Amino acid sequence: MARPAGGPDRPAPARAPRSATGAAPHHDEQQGTRNRVARSILDHGPSTAAELALRLELTQAAVRRHLDTLVAENVVEPREKRVYGARTRGRPAKVFALTDCGRDAFDQSYDQLAADALRWIAESAGGGELGGAAVAAFARARFAALAEVYREAVEAASPEGRTQALAEALTADGYAATARSAPSHQLGEQLCQHHCPVAHVAEQFPQLCEAETEVFSRLLGTHVQRLATIAHGDGVCTTFVPKGREAGKTAHSTTKTTNASASTAGRNPA
């Protein structure tokens, strides 16, 4: 995840001097390992040093050294690990998440162009509510087209495997998505997108998140609830997909609930 040196947010890193001792190759090797650490956080979401060490087959001490460097470079930041249910005794585990600067090092070079285009759409429609409706119409059309690409993979899967199939289709489009069981007090799954190529644009235009939520609902055949988004500052875009009786509700109920969920897309639940 090479990033251009310098810039207002981050000083240019010093180059390792080339010498007969091979200092430069060693520096390149260390940078490569740090890139692997950052990429693992991108693919799996906020992670502890122990989780990173296990995934990358490194020692925790080595991982912590790389994390210290990445924190100093404003690529990752430490956070308190979110705990579901009753909190256990002891100090909460620390996880490391990508910063906006860290995400920028991946494939978000067209953010400003996309934001300018959406702003033009809104202004051309008259601004205000009319402008917001025009952006929403564009977002729905865009995600409807994407839904047709995903539909074949989702419908080919068994009912129990559809969330996983959608996650795999999203991953192929750069969202680094996974499906997992929801916390024990909920009946369903969580669709987690660890990367969002349009996160910075969605900060300004939440209609993108809302349209995506509606498409997920139609593809999975049930209402879904957006719990968190990268655009709002969360480490992962998380969507709750209910199972069992909740998943069998009527189309009318599905549409009604989806609209309610979409209205909160991009914001943390209360």
DSSP-based three-state secondary structure for 187:
coil
Q: Which long-range contacts (CB under 8 A, 24 or more apart) does 155-162 make?
A: 162/219, 162/220, 162/221
pLDDT of the residue at 83: 58
Q: Is the pLDDT of residue 15 over 50?
A: no
pLDDT in tens, 172-207: 888 889 999 888 556 899 999 998 888 889 999 999
**DSSP structure string for 56-109:** HT--HHHHHHHHHHHHHTTSEEEEEPP--SSPPSSPPPEEEEE-HHHHHTTT-T
pLDDT in tens, 137-180: 999 998 888 888 899 999 999 988 999 999 999 988 888 899 99
191 near 241, Cβ under 8 Å? yes
Q: Which long-range contacts (CB under 8 A, 24 or more apart) does 5-14 make?
A: 9/74, 9/101, 10/73, 10/74, 10/101, 13/73
Lowest mean pLDDT among 96-100, 116-120, 162-166: 96-100
pLDDT of the residue at 6: 44
223 near 217, Cβ under 8 Å? yes
pLDDT of the residue at 44: 85
78 near 64, Cβ under 8 Å? no
Q: Is the pLDDT of residue 239 over 50?
A: yes
pLDDT band for position 82 (50/70/90)? low
In angstroms, the CA 241 to CA 226 distance is 9
Total number of residues shown for the chain: 270
Q: Is the pLDDT of residue 108 over 90?
A: no
265 near 208, Cβ under 8 Å? no
Query: What is Dmax (Cα atoms) for the chain?
Result: 72
In angstroms, the CA 219 to CA 161 distance is 12
Look over the chain and give the mean of its residue pLDDT values, rounded to a whole number.
79
pLDDT band for position 112 (50/70/90)? confident
Residues 201-218: what's their mean pLDDT?
Answer: 93
pLDDT in tens, 20-75: 444 556 666 788 888 899 989 988 888 999 999 999 999 999 999 999 999 998 99
Share of the chain above pLDDT 70, in %: 72
pTM for the whole structure? 0.58
pLDDT of the residue at 158: 92
